[in-house]
Structure 1
């Protein structure tokens, strides 16, 4: 898949693999060379004047668990990229993350500093490497308080914070909630409030710019795609996806409906993340909608699109209303989400 987003099935696989790893290693000895947190990488942190709280922390995580900390976490291990980005925006550098190379490839909003411990893939994190980094909090994504990995982590005496990967009923609100959750756990709530206020103001500014445009239609579709065995697959973002919600916030109208998916979808619907699957012919179902797409340079699928007469005959393509996004992580925090807002608005305004 072009955007390596984890599905609920992948989350379950990660839980199983990690549970086996932790169970097999027993109590993990801490490596004396465990990394020390380095200076924050976010450029905006150089001028940060917000305070970090120091008292005990009691919070309810994304799956309804109460997490108690004697003090805000300082040495966090993070197994999903949204929360890695969130921590960096909050001026907290994790001591360990899953797949740092992948993060640095796909997430451009916040740079990951050198020296952060690599604890394997997001799907199969390496428990031995994770605990060797001596974290005082492990942050994972999940959808259930019954995830087996939670209990396995807690057997090691390390608190676990579970962030909800997405809320299809309110993906933008969930992005903010996850950011605020990481901030609360690390004592960085004041910083989080500042960042979210900046995000809301920026969104309102770009929304006003789009509202002033005389668009031929407000209908839109965002999609990405990939090539496999020479076959071209496309992934429309539907209701419940963060990028679809951003388009709506800017005054656009989603064109890929349940009815369109029933008639032109080819691979079912991942309702947890608002992701469908189709082919080039499926795009004809959205009529003259504005088209936004991403990650063509990564997989080459856009070159295959350009060779399709169906694609080149779509109204949006013929009229110059098909826009390729720059590299923006589709499941990120406020900084990545602001990049996406700008990508939408810049395309429509011609900036």
Structure 2
């Protein structure tokens, strides 16, 4: 059987099974949603899923739950959220049976998705930070989602919280950060890293709380560049913070341990390397708040940090 046809049939089978289950249960979830005016939102992007959860809007369904749980994780998805499949090719049949009242995605996902408008109102929103600073970008996007879901007050409160936390952390870190720092995620090959510049969400948050970014090179539209490990020697006095993605990072560190380039770096010889839990680099307000807390813990914890 043709792979494409088999995929479509599998989707239809899944959707029919889901519909049958809903009908058998008397559609209680649908009835409650319509009775109390709650929004039945489908999110096609990881960051938008994070932002909806930040607003207290549990999505009806999202794209690629395993990827969200691996790369974002917090806020956690509640039980019962449906998975509509890949971000680039969501399961339209399943969405139609779920009967959402709003489908949200980012503008890069709009290509060839005109059919979604026959299911529910669709909003393809511009990615944050493309025309301004990333922090303001994620705040503006949270506010826009708040308007579309009736959570304007929640969006305003979360945005105010982020502004306050940034200002407070900047004040608390004065005198604690003594050197520029590379912000990176190691790649599994042990030879390369993704480095986050000031045009990235991670780099923008770090700069606002007093960290000088050691990376001054160019990056992609999200402020991220792929570099070789030897490039980390460009600023000998720098420290390094890397984001731990579990098994992937463990494999990278094992290979780095065997690398003469890595062992020769001044920041490695001086012990100016620190790890922290992964932050989704294309995340939203919750990711920014979590990064602030993690940087504070690193520099203000017992004994401070050599980074």
* TM-score normalised to structure 1 length: 0.72
- SS for the counterpart of 2:29 is coil
Question: Does 2:133 align with 1:170?
Answer: yes
Compute the displacement of 1:208 (Å).
Answer: 1.1
Which has the larger helix fraction?
Answer: 2
Find the partner of 1:254 among 213, 218, 222. 213
Which residue of structure 1 aligns with residue 200 of structure 2? 241
Q: In the alignment, which residue of structure 1 is the partner of 2:185?
A: 224
SS in 2 for 1:140: strand
Q: Deviations over 1:62-120 (max 9, x none)?
A: xxxxxxxxxx8701000111111111121111111001122122223211011111100
**Cα distance in 2, alignment partners of residues 338 and 111 from structure 1:** 15
Number of aligned residue pairs: give it.
281
2:236 alignment counterpart: 287
Q: CA deviation at 1:165?
A: 2.4
Of structures 1 and 2, the one with the larger relative CO (CA 8 A, separation 6+) is 1
- After TM superposition, the structure 1 = structure 2 runs for residues 116-155 of structure 1, keeping only pairs within 5 Å, are 116-142=81-107, 147-154=110-117
* TM-superposed deviation, 1:143: 5.1
Deviations 1:161-186 (A, max 9, x none): 12222324311111111111111100
1:109 corresponds to 2:109: no
- The residue aligned with 2:262 is 311
- 5+ unaligned residues in a row in structure 2: which ranges? 303-307
| Counterpart check, 1:347 vs 2:298 | yes
Please say if 1:91 is aligned against 2:91.
no
Question: Residue 244 of structure 1 aligns to a residue in which SS?
Answer: helix
Quick check: 107-116 or 162-171, which moved more?
162-171
Shift of residue 123 of structure 1?
A: 2.8
SS at match of 2:135: helix
1:279-318 per-residue CA deviation (whole Å, 9 max, x = no partner) reads: 2111112322121111352312122223323323333333
Residue 11 of structure 1 is matched in structure 2 by none
Task: State the alpha-carbon separation in 2 of the partners of residues 276 and 74 from structure 1.
Answer: 38
Q: 1:183 to 1:296 in 2, by over 3 A?
A: closer
CA contact (8 A) 1:222 1:292 kept: yes
In structure 2, the residue corresponding to 1:227 is in which secondary structure? Answer: coil
Gaps of 5+ in 1: 1-16, 40-53, 55-71, 262-268
CA distance in 2, matches of 1:240, 1:315: 26
CA distance in 2, matches of 1:252, 1:238: 12
* Whole-Å separation in 2 of the counterparts to 1:296 and 1:279: 19
Residues 233 and 266 in structure 2, CA contact (< 8 A), matched pair in contact too: no
* Contact 2:242-2:276 within 8 A present in 1 as well: yes
